[in-house]
Every structure is written in C-alpha cells, then in structure tokens.
C-alpha cells in the first residue's frame, strides 16, 4: 500500500461518510472476488462462446435444452456456490447506515440482495430466479433440480432465467428509476465497471451533470476516469471497500 493509495481511500471514505444520498453503479468487476467470471472483456465468457448463439432469446426459444446445457447449467453451478464479498457487504452496510439509497447493477448474480441491499435495480434482470415461460411462476434458481434439461415448472412449462437475454428489452421502469436515482444522488460510486455499455454508461454522466461527485473503484482507469470521475481508487473492489470501511470507522469516531 503506497501513500497515494491510502490517501485516495481516506478521501473516498470522507466523501462517502458525508454523502446524504449515495448511489452505486456496479458491474461484473464487483463479483470477481466472489468467483464469478465476467461475460465481457479478457478472460470473459463471451471470448469462449458467441453470446448471439447461446444467450439470444431466439436461440433459447429454438432449443432451450441446448442453451441450458451450454450456458445456464454452468452459470447456475457457479452462482449456487457464490457468496457476497466485502464489496457487496460494504454496500449493504452503507444502505443500513442510511447513506446509500440504491444500487444500479449490470449483474444478474443476485449478490447485492444476498448481502442485504433492499433497493437494487437490475438492468438485466436476475439469474437468482427462474421463470416459467407458460405460467410466469418464479422459482429460486438454487431450488431448481437439474435431473431433466431443460428443467420444467410444475405446470409443465419450460423454466428460463429471469434475466434479459440478447434480443430482449431492458424493462423501461428500470431505466426510469435509474435515471431518477442518478439525478438525485450527491455521490455516485462506480464499482467494477468501465461503464462503456449503454444504458449503464449514461448514469455517471447524468450524476455528474446534476452535480454529484463520482467515485470510481476499478482495478484500472476507464474511459470515465479522465472526464467524469472525481476520484479513482484503483484495486479489486473487495479490497478497496475493506479499506474504505475501516477509514470511515476512524473518521466517524473522530
């Protein structure tokens, strides 16, 4: 830990500690320390398979068993094991403290709710639940048995993840609420995302235009760093948040 890094942690702790309405925008980077591989970027799932073939709604409709075999089964096994890491837990703690008013996430892993956050906007829906394609009944993914592929609802309908496939729309109400939160917040935390993919990319811009301080927590600088972020704390999200929460405790005691 060099001094620069410590100073950035201190600065972030002060800004977060004095925020009245903080909002977090999170992406796959926050879940890496929970053992969940990212979809995009180097080493991501989409380097190994073509999302248009395995994660497009048309492919799923055409051959649900194949998409379950190629993609969903492995994801389920990975997510059944995954637990929130210190970054998820810190965001839940900040919500409990009344500082954080909402989480906007690009992730479908459900780890924010598992950590205890109650107000979570999931742009791409959630993989933590499956939905029957016929009767729309929802079932928690970890309760789904894989003795038949594709798994079926008790009505006989095929189960699909309750997330947004390629070729499907992001629910408009999620966009609307995300914009509102981004306009209202005084601090926006951008965690584990380079925020280059829309609509997430737009949220820090809105926050900044409305006068918020933008704090970025990412392993490397991103396109946001130069133009939008007021502060970049470099490092893995869990590690950085452990530092920030410790610094906030000191800062509050004083």
List active site positions: 124
Q: Which residue has the tokens 């005691």?
A: 253
Q: Minimum Å distance from CB 65 to Zn ion?
A: 17
Q: Please report how close the Cβ of residue 163 comes to Zn ion at its closest, in angstroms.
A: 18
By the 8 A CB rule, do 232 and 216 touch? yes
Residues in contact with Zn ion by CB under 5 A are 132, 134-135, 137, 153, 155, 157
Q: What is the C-alpha separation between 38 and 36, in angstroms, rounded? A: 6
CB of 131 to Zn ion, least distance (A): 9
Comparing CB distances to Zn ion, the nearer of 112 and 131 is 131
Q: What is the DSSP letter of 142?
A: G
- How is residue 230 written in tokens? 């007021």
- At its nearest, how many Å lie between Zn ion and the CB of residue 85? 34
- The nearest distance, CB 155 to Zn ion, in angstroms, is 3
The region that residue 71 occupies, defined by phi over 0 for left and psi between -120 and 50 for alpha, beta otherwise, is alpha
Phi-psi region of 41 (alpha: psi -120 to 50; beta: other; left: phi over 0): left
Report the residue number, 45 or 132, with the smaller CB distance to Zn ion.
132
The sign of the dihedral angle between the CA atoms of 191, 128, 123, 60 is positive
The C-alpha atoms of residue 42 and residue 160 are separated, in whole angstroms, by: 27
For the beta carbon of residue 227, count every other beta carbon within 10 angstroms. Answer: 10
Cβ proximity to Zn ion: between 113 and 130 the closer is 130
* Nearest CB to Zn ion, comparing residues 73 and 152: 152
Look up tokens 């038949």; give the residue.
148
Helix axes 237-253, 86-96, angle to 10 degrees: 40
**CB closer to Zn ion out of 117 and 130:** 130
């Amino acid at each position: 830990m060099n001094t620069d890094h410590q100073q950035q942690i201190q600065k972030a702790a002060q800004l977060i500690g004095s925020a009245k309405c903080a909002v977090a925008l999170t992406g796959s980077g926050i879940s890496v320390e929970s053992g969940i591989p990212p979809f995009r970027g180097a080493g991501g799932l989409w380097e190994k398979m073509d999302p248009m073939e395995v994660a497009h709604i048309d492919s799923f409709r055409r051959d649900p068993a194949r998409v379950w075999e190629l993609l969903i089964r492995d994801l389920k096994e990975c997510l059944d094991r995954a637990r929130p890491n210190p970054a998820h837990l810190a965001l839940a703690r900040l919500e409990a403290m009344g500082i954080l008013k909402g989480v906007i996430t690009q992730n479908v892993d459900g780890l924010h709710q598992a950590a205890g956050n109650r107000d979570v906007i999931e742009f791409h829906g959630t993989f933590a639940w499956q939905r029957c394609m016929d009767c729309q009944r929802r079932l928690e993914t970890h309760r789904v048995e894989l003795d038949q592929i594709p798994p079926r609802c008790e009505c006989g309908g095929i189960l699909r993840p309750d997330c947004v496939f390629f070729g499907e729309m992001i629910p408009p109400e999620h966009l609307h609420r995300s914009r509102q939160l981004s306009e209202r917040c005084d601090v926006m935390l951008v965690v584990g995302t380079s925020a280059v993919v829309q609509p997430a990319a737009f949220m820090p811009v809105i926050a900044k235009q409305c006068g918020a301080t933008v704090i970025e927590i990412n392993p490397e600088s991103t396109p946001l760093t130069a133009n939008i972020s007021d502060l970049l704390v470099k490092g893995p999200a869990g590690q950085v948040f452990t530092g920030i929460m410790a610094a906030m405790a000191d800062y509050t005691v004083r």
